[in-house]
Amino acid sequence: MSSINPTSGAWLSAGLSHPSFLLSPFEFTAAMCRRNTIHNTSIPTFNSHGTDNPQNYQCPCYGRNTMIDQIGYHLTGCKIDGGAIRLHDNVIHTIVTLFRSIGLSVALEPLNMFSDLEPDDNRRPDILIRNPYDGGNQIIIDVSVTSFNSSARTNDNKPEQVVITREKQKFGKYGEAAKKNHIRFCPASFSTTGEMGPIIKNLFLEQIRLKLQLVDGEVKRSKVRKIMNHCVRHISAAINRSASRNIFFKATKMVNLARHTQQNFSSSTSCDFTSSSASSSPDDLIQQFELQIMNQDVIQN
């Protein structure tokens, strides 16, 4: 149910017109495994009959060690090693780019938004729109990306529960302060499958319609739909690619941990060092991960 809403699978119809839509073979495999609930063979599994350390296949990011699933759901937004932060920040930058593309003046992580009434208030929303097309108050946006199967989802047939619940939580954090400072607050909530919350979706539609009315003098539904689909595809692609890269990063780390464990129990020592499983060369993959990603983007461009 989480994959059939109109926005979660938008990356599939994005095409190859933009570099952010391109996926490596691993990224595409990870994305399809998550979407179709298929085991990802790149994620190592614990062998209870061997010398594996079970801790290499567990994650403590929720305050307790839990086994990492084979599909990649947990690795998508895991808090360990900054995976959740990368996913969150990539979505923010995509939203900023999209709002700027329709002519809005947008600031990233503005400072002192609430200091007029509370000098010690250091809260920083993710995005500020200075000139909304309705001519009203400035708009602040705070972004969140939550798991599609979080505890907020109590009904399998209602995947929108997780994004709506997150919107309410964001209102609790910023709503009152924004009202006192005469600022319009819009939470931007997304699920890890790409589903958009109704508030951010309506904000995009509103600003697109006002932009077209200002430029063309009329608002054609076909134009609104075309521009909105463009925005949805970019956001969906950003979430999907960031999630897939998080899986790649964590799966590689799990493989290396398992390899180190195996070295301590290896009985085969009659080989040269370059051919040995004790070689340190696989560790370079972890150390140079960010460089590999940047090089891949350059090649795709």
Write the pLDDT tens digit of every residue in 241-256: 999 998 888 888 888 7
| Residue that the structure tokens 């521009």 belong to | 227
39 and 71 Cβ atoms separated by less than 8 Å: yes
Return phi, psi of residue 59, to 5°.
-130, 135
Q: Categorise residue 122: left if φ over 0, alpha if ψ from -120 to 50, beta otherwise.
A: alpha
Given a cut of 60, is residue 152 above it in pLDDT? no
Q: Check pLDDT > 50 for residue 41.
A: yes
pTM, rounded to two decimals: 0.80
Give pLDDT, residue 283: 54
Question: What's the Rg (C-alpha) of the chain?
Answer: 22
Note the pLDDT of residue 1.
47
- The residues near 88 (Cβ < 8 Å, ≥ 6 apart) are 143, 144, 145
Cα–Cα distance for residue pair 75/292, rounded to 1 Å: 19
Locate the domains of the chain by residue range: 10-266+278-300
- What mean pLDDT, rounded, does the chain reach? 81
